[in-house]
Amino acid sequence: MKKTFLDYVLRVRLPITLFIALLSFTITYFASRAERDGIGYTPNQPVNFSHKLHAGDMKIDCQYCHTGVEKSRIAMVPPLETCMNCHKIARKDRPEIVKLTNYYNKGIAIPWKRIHKVPDFVYFNHSVHVNKGIDCTNCHGNVNQMEHIGQMNSFQMSACLDCHRNAISRFPELKNINYGPDNCFTCHR
């Protein structure tokens, strides 16, 4: 039987095209996953604040600034006056501190760029996690190593469930933990 052009297209060209399409899709899908989840997102902030300096080198506890995290679902970004507790005296001459002082004197809040955000319609609760003994770094990464704060982990539902369903193996050091609830009303209401 004479091989027609159609046969050639069906037997060779089509599979190759499909294979390439599929391959590129798969590679792009996995390669861009982190990007899509927002991992690595490190925007420029209005004031060049270094977590590495404060939390890392100077070993200031997270909760010195982020008060209320053990009481409420929100881990508060500190009010300007918390910064000024020290910076009314400390390093008043540095350009970033001058910027900070300017904000403070004018009474304007600093419009920090938001980094960590759970998807819409989710009610994440910080205090529940913190009070169970789960360290901030589990989700936020090693903030004390970051000159510029950025996102380290995925904040998608799969990331939440991954931990909730494997809490015991994730946190062998925590005695008080067996599993995280995985019913809808845990986060959605």
Q: Which residues, 86 to 105, sit near another protein by CB under 8 A?
A: 103-104
Distance CA 72, CA 28 (A): 39
**Comparison of 39 and 56: residue with beta carbon closer to another protein:** 39
Q: Which stretch binds another protein (CB under 8 A): 7-15, 23-31, 52-60, 63-71?
A: 63-71
Q: Which residues, 118 to 147, sit near another protein by CB under 8 A?
A: 120-121, 123, 125, 127-128, 131-132
**Comparison of 2 and 81: residue with beta carbon closer to another protein:** 81
Distance CA 107, CA 104 (A): 5
Contacts 24+ apart (CB under 8 A), 18-22: none
State in angstroms the smallest separation of the CB of 96 from another protein.
17
Distance CA 148, CA 62 (A): 16
State in angstroms the smallest separation of the CB of 4 from another protein.
37
**Comparison of 4 and 183: residue with beta carbon closer to another protein:** 183
**Comparison of 76 and 163: residue with beta carbon closer to another protein:** 76
Distance CA 165, CA 172 (A): 14
* Structure token digits, residue 49: 């604040």
* Closest C-alpha among 115, 114, 113, 85 to residue 100: 85
Is 13 in contact with 6 (CB distance < 8 Å)?
Answer: no
Q: Which stretch binds another protein (CB under 8 A): 11-19, 48-56, 76-84, 140-148?
A: 76-84
* Closest C-alpha among 170, 165, 157, 168 to residue 181: 165
Chain contacts with another protein (rule: CB under 8 A): 38, 41, 43, 67-68, 70-74, 76-81, 103-104, 107-115, 117, 120-121, 123, 125, 127-128, 131-132, 181, 183-186, 188-189
